[in-house]
Amino acid sequence: MHTCPPARLLGILVFFCLMIPAGQAVNPLWIVPASPGVELSTVAISHDGSTIVAGGDQLIVLTPEGKKLWSGWSGTLLELSGDGSYILTTQGQTVRLFSRDGTKLWDQSPGGTVTAISMTPDATLIVAGGGNTIQSWYNSGSGLGRNVTETVHDIKISPAKDQIIVTTAKALRSFNESYVPNWYDDTISPGIVEISGDGTGIVIPNGNHIRMYHGSGTLLWDRSFPGGNIISLAYSTDGLTIVAGRDDTTVLVLDRDGNLLFTGKAGAWITSVGVSDNGSTIATGSIDNQINVFDRQGTLLGAYTTQSPIKSRSVAVSGNGSLIVAVDLSNVYGFSRSQFTLPVGASTPEGSGNVSTGTAYNNATPVTTPPGADTVSPLSGNASAPVTGITSRSGFPWVLTLLSLALMILVRKK
């Protein structure tokens, strides 16, 4: 009987390992470039997935198929109505509302550079903050309310239309639609806030902590996660999945009670995150040009490498999770969730990471309610044809497994 020498056996195994495709290659469905010399910095998608808007030096409005509806103006912040009929954006001290076809409906200047905006899903109420001023409007552009507070970091209007949450340099604050104060917590100064679809869950990061409040202002829990600071946040509409990107290359995914579901990894800071309504599709973007897509169980479903770094607010997921969009400095990328069907790796499952559960507030802890406070009550572009994407980066850990088996055979033969 002829036997294959160990060295030859190893060579054959390595050859076949390299000949087999190394995992799933995920290319975008389409890539739409910005105009030459234009830099992009943000992207948003309507809840129903019908409208995609990229912003920065230029606004680019697209269909789910990557067809350009129009481009022009500029916008550093973006919000879309649930059906994509309205596009809210900012430039400097100006807040602008557009229709989906590019008609400018109105613009307002609340005073100071606008740093945060929000809109109800039906676009009937709009809010903005900048400097130490916060202001709200009806869809028509007529003023609804105005107030003065500390330096504004972020602002969100509850989808339930029952309050406006503002994060400032000194506190987390709640107001009604006319900016009459409801409640506040001045023990923290968070930079980001997200609210569940029914308005009952309010999530904020604070360094490497994540806090959950009830809509009434009750602090439900506070969890600490040793490691980097949280710099990006997403909260599923059903209120059951929290996604937090950090500056230590990790993404944390929690349930509504603050339990860690899994920890994912990237190669650099995770500057942007997105999640579908039910948490089944989670997308992350990092400054090492990487887009990763996970399911809620922590399986890495696929990855793609963009041409340049991904900044904050530069990854988004449609409500049903069927469409994932991202921007780097010069391109808009569109992916279908159906492309991410074969696992190419796994993240760290619950309980296997170095995680501290911190303090759980099982008994409701109401925050301080303040005394009364003074209040003061078309462009179009040519459609851009889809552009072929770049082959994604994908790993092949199974090759190492086969090589290990080969080495075991060699050892036994010796």
Of residues 51 and 351, the one with the higher pLDDT is 51
Q: Does residue 16 surpass a pLDDT of 70?
A: no
Q: Does residue 382 surpass a pLDDT of 90?
A: no
Q: Does residue 368 surpass a pLDDT of 80?
A: no
pLDDT at 342: 56
Give the single-character DSSP code of 179: -
* pLDDT tens digits, one per residue of 155-170: 999 999 999 999 999 9
Residue 205 CA to residue 192 CA, distance in Å, equals 7
pLDDT at 343: 52
Q: Across the chain, which distance is largest between two alpha carbons, in Å?
A: 95
* pLDDT (mean) for 102-116: 93
pLDDT at 26: 86
Q: Does residue 55 surpass a pLDDT of 80?
A: yes
Percent of the chain with pLDDT over 90: 73
DSSP string, 106-170: EEE--SS---EEEE-TTSSEEEEEETTEEEEEETTS-EEEEEE-S-EEEEEE-TTSS-EEEEESS
Q: Does residue 21 surpass a pLDDT of 60?
A: no
Q: How many residues does the chain have?
A: 414
* pLDDT (mean) for 121-130: 96
Of the listed ranges 38-42, 234-238, 292-296, 363-367, the one predicted with least confidence? 363-367
pLDDT band of residue 370 (cuts 50, 70, 90) is very low
Residue 127 CA to residue 131 CA, distance in Å, equals 14
pLDDT at 205: 97
User: How far is the CA of 286 from the CAs of 273, 327, 348, in angstroms?
Assistant: 9, 11, 18
Residue 302 CA to residue 275 CA, distance in Å, equals 15
* pLDDT tens digits, one per residue of 283-334: 999 999 999 999 999 999 999 999 999 999 999 999 999 999 999 999 999 9
Percentages (nearest 5) of helix, strand, coil residues in the chain: 10, 45, 50
Enter the tokens of residue 323.
């469409």
Q: Does residue 118 surpass a pLDDT of 90?
A: yes
Q: Tell if the pTM clears 0.75, that is, is over it.
A: yes
* pLDDT (mean) for 59-79: 97
